[in-house]
Structure 1
Amino acid sequence: MSAVKKGGSGDMSGVVSEPLTRSTTGQPSVGGLAMAHTLELLECSVCCEAMIPPIFQCKEGHTLCSECKNRVKQCPACRCDTIDIRCRALEKVAEGLDEIPCKFAQYGCRQNIKYTLKKEHEGKCAFRPFPCLHVQNGCSFEGSSAELVQHLVSEHNYTQTESSKISFTCKKENGTVYPGEDAEQWVWQRSIHSCFDKHFVLRVHRKVDCDPQFYVSVAVLHSRHHSNRYSISTSGNHRKYTFEGPVWSIRKGFKEIERVRDCLILPENIALFLSGGKGSENDLAIINLSITGEILPP
């Protein structure tokens, strides 16, 4: 049995054979072929992601993964129409790789994975980096929770507080407006609370579905779900509304928290009433919603 070595990315032409040894499981494993080059060999020439069996190639030897094979009509390298040839040699190489480090090792993952399970593991890895909370605005940053906090403070003007106590006031001038299909969406999200060795983000969202409502929630920059609880309240005009519940992981997203309504929800007329209005106004200029609460220990 032999492994194949390519001359260029995704190119199986001009291959050189190198011997494969056997792993302790009896499966073929790479002998003299360098691991870095082997992983490069297993990159799809279309999407540049790791290929797992079944692996395909065109008649000229350019390889592609099964997802791209179903998505494109021609080989992007040579425009060949025949792209459904199984590349058995690369499949055997892929199946023989047993101890592959997770690509998120730099963020703390110490697990070695069988190559064919690598993509599945990395899709759920607890150490995978967090994307910026403003990715919808075009920010492409990603990093560990600590790196993300530094990024949010330096690039998006967040304030970081070393406290579990929550105290924030929503006013029109400190909110951010996003265009919506039916009406403007207002978001107050510039506050980070660092406590219990984690970082928590407070978000207030004026969301317009049928009727405008204010969603107040807290999420944690951590992979573990529901590891903490929080209590939160808002009051005014001799009224008080409270909520206590679990802190969701930011990986679930604020959108999902709001979808299942697991947070403090205020109709807009109530939010305006708590701000000192009469409840009949429809003017966000008077919004002055005081949010207080606490992140509770695990």
Structure 2
Amino acid sequence: MGDVQEQGESSAKRIKCSIEEAAFCCGECNEPLRPPIFQCPEGHMICSPCRGDLPEEKCTFGYSVRCTAGNLARSLSVEHAVESILVDCHYAENGCTENTAYYYHVKHRLMCPHAPCECPEPGCDLAGKRGELLDHLTAVAGLHKWPSTTFQYWVPFDLRIVEPGTHVLRCKNDGQLFLVS
């Protein structure tokens, strides 16, 4: 259902399409399936953590109704399908170019550096990119004018320079912002 396009160094062709989100979710926990994936002879899919929680590692489908099909086996074809599903980042419009595996896209969304940042000051409605937030919090022309210090991971610095009140720490390595009060 869409254009075929080559992507990356692989000679594999990719097809733009859409899938129902629940199609590749665990039958027990409803989380996205990620390898290793197991399947009973009846076709019920289950993730590895849920497999370990099952009595005798036998399929229970839905609300602990025992499947009469017996033991679970690894489903390499479904693993391959799940690994081949790439999802554009939710924040692509903010500049993120990541295409993550289907089972990882929610985690990426929570950690994406292009996600809008909200001002932590109660009553302030700013939501923007990390750089905009830094200027908003610290710049002379910014709203809050909080003092800031830049640091690097694994390089000691003196926290005694932090003045009383709210202080912004910006990591030189990855741009993360930390508030110290």
Matches within 5 A, 1:60-71: 60-71=42-53
Write 1 or 2 for the structure with the bigger share of strand. 1
Correspondence for 2:24 among 3, 24, 42: 42
Q: Displacement of 1:68 after TM fit?
A: 1.9
Secondary structure of the residue that 1:80 maps to in structure 2?
strand
Matches within 5 A, 1:106-185: 109-115=96-102, 118=105, 121-122=108-109, 124-127=111-114, 144-146=116-118, 149=119, 158-160=122-124
- Tell me which structure has the larger Cα radius of gyration: 1
Correspondence for 1:246 among 137, 153, 169: 169
Matched, 1:231 2:165: no
Task: Give the aligned CA root-mean-square deviation in angstroms.
Answer: 4.9
Matched, 1:75 2:60: yes
How many pairs align?
146
CA deviation digits over 1:9-38, x for unaligned, max 9? xxxxxxxxxxxx99662447558xx4223x
In the alignment, the residues of structure 2 paired with residue 90 and residue 41 of structure 1 have an alpha-carbon distance, to the nearest angstrom, of 11
Q: Displacement of 1:79 after TM fit?
A: 2.1
Q: TM-score, normalising length from structure 2? A: 0.51
CA deviation digits over 1:70-112, x for unaligned, max 9? 2333524242384532223312212333x42124547663322
Secondary structure of the residue that 2:32 maps to in structure 1?
coil
Compared with structure 1, are the counterparts of its residues 87 and 196 closer, same or farther at alpha carbon in structure 2 (3 Å cutoff)?
closer
Compared with structure 1, are the counterparts of its residues 198 and 58 closer, same or farther at alpha carbon in structure 2 (3 Å cutoff)?
farther
Compared with structure 1, are the counterparts of its residues 26 and 49 closer, same or farther at alpha carbon in structure 2 (3 Å cutoff)?
farther
In the alignment, the residues of structure 2 paired with residue 195 and residue 103 of structure 1 have an alpha-carbon distance, to the nearest angstrom, of 20
Secondary structure of the residue that 1:52 maps to in structure 2?
coil
Q: Which runs of 4+ in 1 moved over 6 A?
A: 251-254
Judge conservation of contact 2:37–2:78 (CA < 8 Å) in 1: yes
Identity between Structure 1 and Structure 2 (%): 20
Unaligned runs of 5+ residues in structure 2 are 127-131, 139-145, 153-158
Q: Displacement of 1:60 after TM fit?
A: 2.3
Matched, 1:57 2:39: yes
Q: Displacement of 1:55 after TM fit?
A: 0.9
Judge conservation of contact 2:169–2:177 (CA < 8 Å) in 1: no
Between 1 and 2, higher relative CO (CA 8 Å, sep ≥ 6) is seen in 1
